[in-house]
């Protein structure tokens, strides 16, 4: 990163998809506490607006809700335009929104092609499209970070997690390729597996799991913020596992 203009902590603008609950909300609140500007995306408008209010109360310099579906091509330019017009140039882009597909999860050959397609659209094509717009602007400005929230299903072949696993494996490689092509422009891209967390997604996929055995989204969010802020901890092109990262002190 030779010519980057990565702004100081409190000047940063962060776009987070899937920010209405779970890990995305925790990330939004972690950045709010650092005084960042936030563009928060989810489909459920009242839910994401509620997180915007929480973020303002927690210290966000600016917070804006964008009700949109990242799996829809037409939504992408609106997300980017609204985020940049209201919040400003984006320094950190977090691809966190994701779908598992219908529960209970089906074996691969029982998976409807449309459900497989939807997993790819939300989990890979959406991030690709958003990176095309936001990443290009970030590269032109000479600095920023793009984070891809992955899963262990990207590397382990879990029966019934087929469409999701394939989409997350593709997302991992998207993270590497974005880094390979944009590192010279000052954009650092990496993937991170957050580990099993106590969220709505986990409750839906694994009903009855003991919450005490799962990570808290707030703790995982702190680790991800640390990885975003520290290129030594999260070098460009890396695939990290949040639970095995060096312990986070603050
Ligand atoms: N929880 C785990 O144990 C676990 C393990 C490994 C990886 N992960 C990954 O961690 C990330 C966060 O998961 P989570 O557990 O926090 O999930 P979650 O609690 O279900 O939250 C998902 C968020 O994404 C939004 N979202 C879903 N589909 C969307 C779409 N098409 N367009 C825009 N927003 C959308 C949801 O809001 P709306 O429904 O309102 O759109 C919500 O804000 C995901 O990438 C997931 O794959 C989670």
* Residue of 89, 150, 151, 189 with catalytic role: 150
Residue among 46, 97, 171, 214 whose CB has most ligand 1 atoms within 8 A, to mutate: 97
Average pLDDT score over residue span 161-167: 97
Q: What are phi and psi of 230, to 5 degrees?
A: -125, 100
Q: What is the CA radius of gyration of the chain?
A: 17
Average pLDDT score over residue span 69-91: 97
Residue nearest to atom 32 of ligand 1 (CA): 69
Query: Which range among 7-11, 90-94, 159-163, 201-205 shows the weakest confidence by mean pLDDT?
Result: 7-11
- Whether 125 shows a pLDDT value over 70: the answer reads yes
- Whether 2 shows a pLDDT value over 50: the answer reads no
- Whether 75 shows a pLDDT value over 70: the answer reads yes
The three-state (H, E, C) secondary structure of the chain, written as one string: CCCCCCCCHHHCEEEEECCCCHHHHHHHHHHHHCCCEEEEEECCHHHHHHHHHHHHHCCCCEEEEEECCCCCHHHHHHHHHHHHHHHCCCCEEEECCCCCCCCCCCCHHHCCHHHHHHHHHHHHHHHHHHHHHHHHHHHHHCCEEEEEECCHHHCCCCCCCHHHHHHHHHHHHHHHHHHHHHHHHCEEEEEEECCCECCHHHHHHCCCCCHHHCECHHHHHHHHHHHHHCCCCCCCCCEEEHHHCCCCCC
Q: Is 150 assigned a catalytic role?
A: yes
Residue 76: which residues within 8 A CB-CB, separation 6 or more? 70, 126, 129, 130, 133
Give the atom of ligand 1 at the shortest distance from the alpha carbon of 197.
Answer: 3
Query: Which range among 11-15, 25-29, 83-87, 91-95 shows the weakest confidence by mean pLDDT?
Result: 11-15
- Whether 249 shows a pLDDT value over 50: the answer reads no
Count the neighbouring beta carbons within 10 Å of the beta carbon of residue 56. 14
Average pLDDT score over residue span 65-92: 98
- Whether 10 shows a pLDDT value over 70: the answer reads no
Residue among 201, 202, 239 whose CB has most ligand 1 atoms within 8 A, to mutate: 201
Residue nearest to atom 42 of ligand 1 (CA): 18
Residue nearest to atom 17 of ligand 1 (CA): 201
pTM: 0.96
CA-to-CA separations, 127 to 16, 28, 112, in angstroms, rounded: 11, 18, 22
Ligand 1 pocket (Cβ < 6 Å) reads: 17-24, 41-44, 47, 69-71, 96-99, 122, 149, 151, 194, 196-197, 199-202
Distance in Å, CA 132 to ligand 1 centroid: 21
Identify the band that residue 64 occupies on the pLDDT scale cut at 50, 70 and 90: very high
Identify the band that residue 250 occupies on the pLDDT scale cut at 50, 70 and 90: very low
Q: Is 31 assigned a catalytic role?
A: no
Q: Is 158 assigned a catalytic role?
A: no
Per-residue pLDDT, 4: 55
Mean pLDDT, the chain, as a whole number? 94
Residue 219 token pair: 């703790």
Identify the band that residue 6 occupies on the pLDDT scale cut at 50, 70 and 90: low
Closest C-alpha to 36, from 19, 55, 17: 55
Residue among 16, 17, 22, 99 whose CB has most ligand 1 atoms within 8 A, to mutate: 22
Per-residue pLDDT, 245: 81
- pLDDT per residue as tens digits for the range 172-229: 999 999 999 999 999 999 999 999 999 999 999 999 999 999 999 999 999 999 999 9
Give the atom of ligand 1 at the shortest distance from the alpha carbon of 198.
Answer: 1
Distance in Å, CA 137 to ligand 1 centroid: 25
Per-residue pLDDT, 246: 60
Distance in Å, CA 246 to ligand 1 centroid: 24
Average pLDDT score over residue span 38-49: 98
Give the atom of ligand 1 at the shortest distance from the alpha carbon of 204.
Answer: 20
| Percent of the chain surpassing pLDDT 90 | 92
Signed CA dihedral, 36, 10, 194, 216: sign only: negative
Per-residue pLDDT, 7: 74
Q: In the chain, what are the domains?
A: 9-243 (3.40.50.720)
């Amino acid at each position: 990163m030779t010519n980057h203009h990565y702004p100081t902590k409190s000047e940063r603008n962060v776009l987070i998809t899937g920010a209405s609950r779970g890990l995305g909300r925790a990330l939004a609140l972690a950045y709010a506490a650092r005084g960042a500007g936030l563009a928060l995306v989810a489909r459920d408008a009242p839910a994401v607006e509620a997180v915007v209010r929480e973020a303002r109360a927690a210290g966000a310099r600016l917070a804006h809700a964008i009700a949109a579906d990242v799996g829809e091509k037409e939504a992408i330019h609106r997300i980017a335009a609204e985020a940049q017009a209201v919040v400003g140039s984006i320094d950190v882009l977090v691809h966190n929104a994701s779908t598992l597909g219908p529960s209970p999860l089906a074996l691969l050959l029982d998976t409807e092609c449309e459900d497989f397609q939807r997993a790819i659209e939300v989990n890979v094509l959406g991030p690709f499209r958003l990176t095309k717009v936001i990443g290009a602007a970030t590269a032109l400005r000479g600095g920023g970070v793009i984070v891809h929230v992955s899963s262990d299903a990207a590397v382990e072949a879990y029966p019934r997690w087929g469409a999701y696993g394939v989409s997350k494996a593709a997302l991992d490689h998207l993270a590497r390729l974005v880094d390979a092509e944009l590192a010279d422009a000052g954009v650092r891209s990496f993937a991170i597996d957050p580990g099993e967390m106590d969220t709505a997604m986990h409750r839906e996929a694994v009903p009855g799991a003991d919450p005490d055995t799962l990570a808290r989204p707030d703790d995982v969010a702190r680790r991800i913020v640390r990885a975003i802020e520290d290129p030594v901890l999260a070098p460009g092109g890396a695939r990290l596992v949040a639970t095995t990262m060096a312990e986070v002190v603050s």
